[in-house]
Chain A
Amino acid sequence: MRLPAAVNSLLLRSSGVLIFLILWETAPRLAWVDPYFVPPLSIVVREIWLLLETGDLSRHLLVSSWRAVTGLSLALVVALPLGIILGRWLTGLASALEPLLRLLSQINPFAMLPLFLLFFGIGETAKVAVVTWVTLWPILFYTIIATRTVDPLQIKSAAALGVSRSEMLCKVILPAAVPTIFIGIRIGASLTFFILIAAEMLGAGSGLGWLVHNSAMNYLIPRIYAGATFIVLLGFLLNRLLLYIEASLSIWQGSQSGSPVAGQSRASSWRPDRGSAVAGTAILVLVLILGALEVRRLNQEALAGASSSSSHAKHFGTPADSSDGGL
């Protein structure tokens, strides 16, 4: 009884995507658009398959994810404690610093990109630093707001028991602040992808952004689409993963408060628990570890390639890559 309804709603919700996919296939085939610039879906899928087969795609995917997650984690490590201190204890300093922080956060990150490349070179540091920079601000702001606006009654009922400072932090302030902090994290995560892809296009030897850029330089049009599809997919997955962790950390909110996106659609059918929060976090940690290994391997390969004749670069045919290397 429940299955048909579920299938129905799934069909309904995905009908837009389905129509889009069908158009993608038919429009180039019927020559409504130039199939050279817009290759039909089946060609792109075949290209994806080829890339998957050689392992190239998963390698670039892993590298991009690693950069995104590392940058995000670094931003968390900096912004969370800072936000808590500014929001809870140094409230005077927080309001004094606010104009400066706003100014910094409003600098267009794309304008900062060349600066980051200048300071950190085209190595991993630049990419991770760029991601950290853009995600830092929303996380910082939302952490300050979240910790500042904890219900004073809740603080009071804990204080009446004579709790210690750390107990107040861990048992009251943080749990109360988590939903709001997560809004900042998700805003940061959505920015991550724009900036990371741009950074990889400007100066990198790997990653999905590089893959697309490199394909464009070499007129490998289906490969551009294959890479772009994966970029969309990766952004979608990261957002989903964060929603998943968020929902499992804030089941207590019900559907009336907090983030409506996360709450409403989920509350009815699926109740995540702490286990799924652990699972979600485990996936992120896995990306961190595997990505780090892959990045190290790639960098060593690049070094080896640079010292001998650049066989690696030739394999991909990358004039753009070697010119960027001169930065």
Chain B
Amino acid sequence: MKEKPLVQGRRDFIKIGTLAGTGLLVGVHLPNCSRHVEASHVSSENGVNMLAPNAWIRIRSDDTVTVMVNHSELGQGITTALPMIVAEELEADWSKIKVEIAPVEEVYKNPAFNTQMTASSTSVYTSWDILRKAGAMARETLISAAARAWKVPPSECYAQNGAVIHKPSQRSFRFGELVDKTAGIPVPEDVYLKKPEEFKIIGKRIPRLDTKIKTDGSAKFGIDIKLPEMLVAVVVHPPVFGGKVKSVDSQNTRKMKGIRDVVAIDAGIAVVADTFWQARLASDALQIEWEENENSKLNSDALFERWDEMAKSEGKTQYEIGDVDDFFGTDGKTHQAMYRIPYQGHATPEPMNCTAHVRDKDCEIWAPTQHQDAAQEVAARITGFDYEAIKVHTTFVGGGFGRRISVEYVVEAVQISKILKKPIKVIWTREEDTRNDRIRPATCNFMEAAIDSNGLPVAWRHRIVGADVFGQMLPKLIPSIMPYWVPRFLRNGLSGIGESLLPRVVPGKKAIKGAAPLQYNIANVRAEFINDDPGIPIGYWRSVSAFSNAFAVECFLDELAAESGEDPFDYRDRLLTNSPRMREVMKLAADKAGWKEKPPAGVHRGLAIHRFHDTDLCFVAEVSIHSRHEIRVHRVVCAVNCGIVINPKTIESQMESAVAFGLTSTLKSAITIRDGKIEQSNFDDYPILRIDEMPKVEVYTVQDTRSPTSIGEAGVPVIAPAVANAVFAATGIRVRKLPILPDDIKNT
């Protein structure tokens, strides 16, 4: 066994002690821990051994180990993955692991954003070091406690499967038995972290911890919350973006059964009733006149025309290597194309909802949200309460996909509850949910390449026209990102300034995600962005700009391969000389798909690669074209390098999920704008991929000892270009827009 020096932990780094017979708490937190640490010192539990609440691990005398998870369970399996990391180092008995979703506290902020938020596929890689260390510290503390009780040196003891064992005598204590024996034990700061070859839990197909309750109806989602005296509200939002109520006649509504009130809130008119269905029916009886609004002139078709035009002039360079100008406008061979990617909706299966109870001095919120700090922030702003008076409970989340990073539904519930002084559950109807979505931006992508004598691109320009999510979302994020000590007036003031200023100054860098840097070895590359924000509410959407950019990049690259008459795999392979990791991933996918062999009759293959954050992916899609030009995707082979694999099943599920999610946008649906409104409203006009359209998905991972990278979004950008390239292989038609519909290939 390794030497494990036990030293006293710094108080600002780790706090450990015992709650009388109930539990041992370990918290590893950021050095700048603030208010909540202090608060916890005051709120004594049982009056003994005051502990910081900033804890990741709770070991109880009944042997259970509770892992505090600071991310929302959106379906990605985070409430299994993060406990696996802890349990590995702790040497816990996996069958004794329990999970609790963390409350809003400094220690639980996502270090990638300094706000408690489940976004951008950051959960695992930001937690990796923190949770391993937390687990190891708890392990060493338990070992020390056992050693002291046995009066033996800790070096003779080790932890295994939820117990500490004294090697020479084979005596053992279960973790639960050690809880009361840890008092006064110094906490090690430098702990031994296991090597990948020592892993027993990480890398295993450990079943998810949340499955059983998702098969018997007992998992509680936000929409399921029920409180005594609770009323349910349906909010009617303005039909046109940014609309305001001019007048409302609620007489008929108020007469309807179960209606308790009709109130005006910032977002629109809320009908409050005993039940959702009563509120829903009565909301139809409202007579609302909306103010005239410039936005009613917005049309997505017109926007695309405008962007086509704008794409003719140069944009702001966001990335550049070499100098592309030397190659365009000369006599050399060039190739150009325009790719148009439409708006997309989230269509989370659980519509937006939130329950809030504003009382005299405090407020409680139950929300299926991806952004706890923002929920707390907006509630603080509305109620005027301190953060400490606002408690946020995160429920299970029926699909997030980035939609629940912004928290309009929390604002609505808190505003209504503040007026009516009762617990209020706001539920958006599917129609309200679709029309008030913060949609994924549409873009036009002008692609241009100069080709050398070997048929390879020597210069590459990607010009993106559209609005940048970051410009609209950053002002909303700012108040939650600010440190807790920033006073309210400054917080409001700064975000007010941000609201007007930021959309104009920040856009660019995020909008080119997936467009540059390229994995391909091209000497001269430029990515430009032309920001044109018409004011349509846009937001984060699983992989955001990477989806549209990867579509343009990987299809255009395929065009170049076709231009030079080369196999798409070989062509890419020639260009990946500087990216051995990607090359290996691409080869793995091609081998497994049998790329070099002839596909079955009628089947055609397409390939695409993509690096998302630090995850390398390659998909090979097999499609066939049927009567009336129906496109069927039969099989998708996914190769992934995402560093150390925590749970292979999670990777497989996330790839399947990415394929399904991406195929809806590839072959079925889009959001269109007419007269300042989203035209779609439900799954009849925004159809979602069905099981009979789901291809067989095969997933292969490359063994790697890098720290784990990202997986939740990573596969989404890869599927559309892989399918589009297969459609080209099948038909010879290059469809440069999404979704690809039978009409687009009818001339074959």
A and B: partners?
no
Residues of A with Cβ closer than 8 Å to B? none
Residues of B with Cβ closer than 8 Å to A? none
